[in-house]
């Protein structure tokens, strides 16, 4: 039996797409356009999961038979939570706050299939230590790279990496997808989908056999 589902990334992030391409996942992109406003009333680990779930749910309504991957990343610096900056001024404030300090990068992920009611959620945290960055270098980064589409206003995979002293945890989590955990849960979800599909197919063929026997018995 062929797979009768697709894997859909509910994000327009090119970095998340790159991670999925790296591990040879066959997927398509369907960006979710939800309001990514951070709810300060819930736990830090739950904030990213909450948003990732909303992203996955929105896209699963359009593609109920497919596996949807929703993800969201936040940065926590001195208990202050950074999402994507609203403008260049906010971007600069974030980078100044990160300069010379350590911070946490938390990514929440939801894997969902609406038809079978599958919902898997998990999060990953990576600690990042940043060197002291001169103000001129912060201005250079803002003026030469897109800092507005990234949580915390930086991308670890680009020029900003020269200011990273060290990290504790998953590098790809900082890019937006904790690849090891994601792969594990994705394989489990696909196995579950195949198990459901096989059982439905088996029951259908058994019903067909019973129906044929009943028809033959009439003649």
The DSSP code for 169 is S
Active-site entry in 66, 72, 87, 149: 72
Q: Name the packing angle between helices 179-217 and 14-22 (round to 10°).
A: 70
DSSP alpha helix (H) spans, 74-170: 88-98, 135-144
Handedness of CA 212, 217, 218, 219 (dihedral sign): positive
Residue that has been written with the tokens 């995979």 in this structure = 157
Known catalytic residue: 72?
Answer: yes
Contacts made by residues 169-174, CB under 8 angstroms, sequence distance 24+ = 169/124, 169/125, 169/126, 169/127, 170/124, 170/126, 171/126, 172/19, 173/105, 173/107, 173/124, 173/125, 173/126, 174/105, 174/126, 174/128
d(CA 51, CA 54): 5
Helix (H) or strand (E) segment spanning residue 208: helix 179-217
d(CA 134, CA 197): 57
d(CA 58, CA 196): 23
Residues annotated as part of the active site: 72
């Amino acid at each position: 039996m062929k797979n009768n589902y697709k894997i859909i990334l509910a994000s327009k992030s090119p970095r998340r797409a790159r991670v999925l391409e790296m591990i040879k996942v066959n997927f398509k992109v369907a960006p979710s356009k939800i309001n990514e406003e951070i709810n300060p009333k819930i736990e830090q680990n739950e904030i990213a999961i909450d948003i990732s779930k909303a992203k996955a749910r929105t896209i699963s309504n359009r593609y109920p038979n497919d596996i949807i991957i929703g993800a969201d990343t936040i940065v926590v610096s001195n208990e202050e939570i950074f999402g994507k900056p609203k403008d260049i001024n906010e971007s600069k404030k974030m980078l100044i706050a990160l300069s010379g300090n350590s911070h946490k990068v938390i990514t929440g992920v939801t894997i969902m299939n609406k038809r079978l009611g599958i919902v898997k959620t998990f999060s990953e945290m990576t600690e990042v230590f940043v060197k002291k960055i001169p103000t001129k270098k912060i201005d250079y980064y803002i003026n030469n790279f897109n800092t507005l589409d990234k949580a915390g206003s930086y991308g670890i995979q680009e020029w900003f990496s020269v200011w990273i002293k060290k990290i504790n945890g998953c590098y790809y989590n900082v890019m937006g997808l904790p690849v090891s955990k994601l792969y594990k849960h994705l394989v489990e979800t696909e196995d579950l989908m195949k198990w459901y599909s096989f059982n439905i197919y088996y029951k259908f063929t058994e019903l067909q056999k019973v129906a044929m026997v009943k028809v033959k018995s009439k003649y």
